[in-house]
């Protein structure tokens, strides 16, 4: 009886060790440096940006400093991740919107959001300078979003704003930036010019179409 119990205990112990090994193999830990961003790490470890951010929900993507411990999902786990699907009530591939250039675009969802504007001024962009979260130069069509609402990299059609420095009536844009105050149904639209001009944009209600 004693030998049977010992053997059973050994089997259980081995199973636990194997499970632990599976978990450790499934992900790894990265200790951040001062210049790290989720985007840089997603490229370094070949993990999709949204997957990496979802694996670290308590980490502020605008405040990565030296010494943080980030979970890096395995590339195998990322490959197995199911694609995000819209709610059946909002996802409809037959929906289209006609842009100001006359071209029709299919969209999956339309959002009413509050919009503000920002410029390339150093005072508005912190240590990263006049670039978006991907490290690309800020330009008309750059939109800062809350990644939990609109995934980074999403193509958008934005309409309903009124501002002299932007295309009249609406524009095709890309969600390539984030901001500390951009949470929930908020977007920040890059505009050319100086901060004092951008301030005249104020807070506007705009419509954002998530293009397919």
Domain termination residue (choose one: 45, 80, 115): 80
Q: Are residues 107 and 203 in the same domain?
A: yes
Q: Which of 143, 119, 142, 115 is nearest to 203 (CA)?
A: 115
Tell me the C-alpha distance between 185 and 115, whole Å: 9
18 belongs to a structural domain:
no
Number of domains in the chain: 2
Q: Are residues 141 and 178 in the same domain?
A: yes
11 belongs to a structural domain:
no
**The domain spanning residue 36 has which CATH number?**
3.10.350.10
Q: Are residues 108 and 185 in the same domain?
A: yes
136 belongs to a structural domain:
yes
2 belongs to a structural domain:
no
Percentage above 90 pLDDT, the chain: 52
Half-sphere exposure of 195 (CA within 13 A, CB side): 6
12 belongs to a structural domain:
no
Q: Are residues 72 and 139 in the same domain?
A: no
20 belongs to a structural domain:
no
Confidence of residue 96 (pLDDT cuts 50, 70, 90): very high
Is pLDDT of 91 > 60? no
The dihedral through the CA atoms of 182, 157, 132, 43 has a sign that is positive
Range of the domain at 76: 25-80
Q: Are residues 121 and 63 in the same domain?
A: no
172 belongs to a structural domain:
yes
Q: Are residues 60 and 100 in the same domain?
A: no
Q: Are residues 48 and 142 in the same domain?
A: no
Is pLDDT of 3 > 70? no
Q: Are residues 121 and 202 in the same domain?
A: yes
Q: Are residues 125 and 179 in the same domain?
A: yes
pTM summary value: 0.69
Q: Are residues 132 and 205 in the same domain?
A: yes
Q: How many residues does the chain have?
A: 212
45 belongs to a structural domain:
yes
**The domain spanning residue 169 has which CATH number?**
2.40.40.10
Tell me the pLDDT tens digit for each residue of 142-152.
999 999 899 99
Q: With contact defined as beta carbons under 8 Å apart, do 45 and 30 qualify?
A: yes
Percentage above 70 pLDDT, the chain: 79
Domain termination residue (choose one: 55, 80, 105): 80
């Amino acid at each position: 009886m004693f030998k049977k119990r010992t053997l059973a205990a050994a089997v259980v112990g081995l199973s636990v060790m194997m499970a632990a090994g599976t978990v450790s193999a499934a992900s790894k830990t990265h200790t951040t440096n001062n210049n790290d961003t989720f985007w840089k790490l997603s490229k370094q470890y070949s993990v999709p940006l949204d997957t990496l951010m979802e694996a670290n929900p308590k980490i502020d993507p605008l405040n990565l400093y030296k010494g943080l411990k980030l979970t890096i999902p395995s590339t195998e786990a990322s490959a197995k991740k199911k694609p995000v699907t819209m709610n059946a009530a909002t996802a409809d591939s037959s929906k289209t919107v006609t842009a100001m250039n006359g071209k029709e675009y299919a969209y999956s969802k339309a959002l009413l959001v509050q919009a503000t504007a920002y410029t390339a001024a150093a005072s508005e962009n912190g240590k990263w300078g006049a670039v978006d979260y991907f490290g690309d130069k800020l330009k008309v069509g750059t939109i800062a979003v809350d990644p939990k609402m609109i995934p980074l990299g999403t193509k958008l059609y934005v309409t309903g704003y009124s501002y002299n420095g932007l295309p009249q009536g609406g524009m095709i844009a890309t969600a390539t930036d984030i901001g500390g105050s951009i949470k929930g149904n908020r977007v920040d639209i890059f505009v050319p010019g100086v901060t004092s001009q951008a301030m005249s944009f104020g807070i506007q209600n705009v419509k954002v179409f998530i293009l397919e």
